[in-house]
Amino acid sequence: MSNSKAAIENGSTSLDSVTGKTSIWKDFSALIKIGIVNSNLITTFTGLWLALQFTGQSFLSNLHIIFFTVAGSSLIIAGSCAINNYVDRDIDHLMERTKTRPTVTGKILPAKVLGAGILLIVLGTLFLFFTTITATVIGLLGVFSYVFLYTLWSKRQLVSNTIIGSISGAVPPLIGWAAVDANLDIIAWALFVLMFVWQPPHFYALAMRRVHEYKAAGIPMLPVVKGFKATKRSILLWVAALLPIPFFLYQLGIPFLILATILNIGWLGLGIYGYKIKDDIKWAKLMFVYSLQYLTIIFTAMVIVTII
């Protein structure tokens, strides 16, 4: 998700002056939503790492599995995002953060975007096939939930689109674990639930900040349909739902349990603060930033506590 500044050359406005001159890599990164790919790689790798640790397998002895898992999951996520861009090219120009995507500016033809998306998914599926069938099936279920359940169905029709979209975002750690151990442990499912519950408060905070853009694009996000008061209440409930999840990860040890609980209470406290602060947009920004830091810290900690 990238933005570029408009440029005026010789007093006239051309396509390049509106969208800014971008490199091929920058356009490709926007097409596959590199930020989403990278963030999902963190959770995929964590699932894989924990599976290796709890099944007593060596990291170095499984470099081929690690490669196929990381490459495969990255490709199917990138492909799914490209298809999302293909579908949303008619509304992305209405939103500040999406108006410079190559699908909007015309730098990449729609047919090529769709073709690239399908090709990336096919390649990613083949890579995952070299791990386990379970990981491959889970990966395809993630593609189905993002492309069909979210992008093509719920995004423009249901206020619950964020919740439905959270299914695909919760799949990566399952892929990582299943690539090593097809018999999914309770830890793997706890990671799935953690990611599923984390996403609504994260995206609702973003939707509050971008409420006018979503309204202009006709996307029935919660703040658009039910307002800020209902959104703040929903965010608080979803954050509260995170509180018991670390206890299902007790095998990671007491230090992790304490850290995760502190992070959860901190987020909940910030959520309650939303009922006192007058500037809802400022509060939404704080919640959004906290959610990003939360995700990075908690998944990094999962890896660290199994090393020390």
Which DSSP helix (H) or strand (E) runs through 109? none
pLDDT exceeds cutoff 70 at 7: no
The three-class DSSP label of residue 116 is: helix
221: left (phi over 0), alpha (psi -120 to 50) or beta: beta
41-45, 95-99, 220-224: least confidently modelled range:
95-99
DSSP 228-258: HHHHHHHHHHHHHTTTTGGGGGGGG-HHHHH
pLDDT category, 157, cuts 50, 70, 90? Answer: very high
**Tokens matching residue 159:** 């206020």
What is the pLDDT, as a whole number, of residue 66?
97
pLDDT per position as a tens digit, 169-211: 999 999 999 999 999 999 999 999 999 999 999 999 999 999 9
- The whole-number average pLDDT for the span 74-95 is 95
Tell the CATH topology of 185-308.
Answer: Four Helix Bundle (Hemerythrin (Met), subunit A) (1.20.120)
Domain residue extents for the chain:
1-184, 185-308
Q: Which residues contact 264 (CB under 8 A, 6 or more apart)?
A: 239, 242, 243, 246
Q: Which tens digit of pLDDT belongs to each residue from 104-116?
A: 988 999 999 999 9
Tell which residue, 242, 221, 241, has the closest CA to residue 284: 221
What are the structure tokens assigned to 97, written together?
């953060």
pLDDT tens profile 117-126? 999 999 999 9
According to CATH, what is the number of the domain 1-184? 1.10.357.140
pTM given for the model: 0.90
* pLDDT score at 114: 97
Measured CA to CA in angstroms, residue 104 lies from 15, 98, 110 at distances of 11, 8, 9
Share the mean pLDDT of the chain.
92
- Summarize pLDDT for 241-300 with one digit per residue, the tens: 999 999 999 999 999 999 999 999 999 999 999 888 889 999 999 999 999 999 999 999
Structure tokens at 207: 């939707």
